[in-house]
Amino acid sequence: MHVVIVGSGRTGSELAVRLNSLGDDVALIDVDRRARKRLLPALQERFIEGTGMSRRVLEQAGIAHSEALVALTTDDFVNAVVARVGRDVYRVPRVFARRFDPAHTIIYRELGITAVSTVQATANQVAQLLHHERLEPRLSFGNGETLLVRSAIPAYLAGRPVSELSVPGEIEVAEVTRGGHSMIPEPSTLLAEHDEASFVVAAQSLGRLRNFLGGRWS
Binding site residues, another protein, CB under 8 A: 50-51, 53-57, 75, 77-78, 80-81, 85, 88, 103-104, 106-107, 110-111
| Cβ-based nearer residue to another protein, 91 or 194 | 91
Minimum CB distance to another protein, residue 4 (Å): 17
| Cβ-based nearer residue to another protein, 78 or 147 | 78
DSSP 174: E
Minimum CB distance to another protein, residue 104 (Å): 7
Cα angle: 193, vertex 194, 197; to 5 degrees: 100
Minimum CB distance to another protein, residue 49 (Å): 12
Contact 166, 187 (CB under 8 A): yes
Rounded Cα distance, 85 and 179, in Å: 53
Minimum CB distance to another protein, residue 80 (Å): 6
Burial class (CB in 10 A: 0-12, 13-18, 19+), 109: exposed
| Cβ-based nearer residue to another protein, 10 or 56 | 56
| Cβ-based nearer residue to another protein, 53 or 152 | 53
Cα angle: 169, vertex 175, 177; to 5 degrees: 150
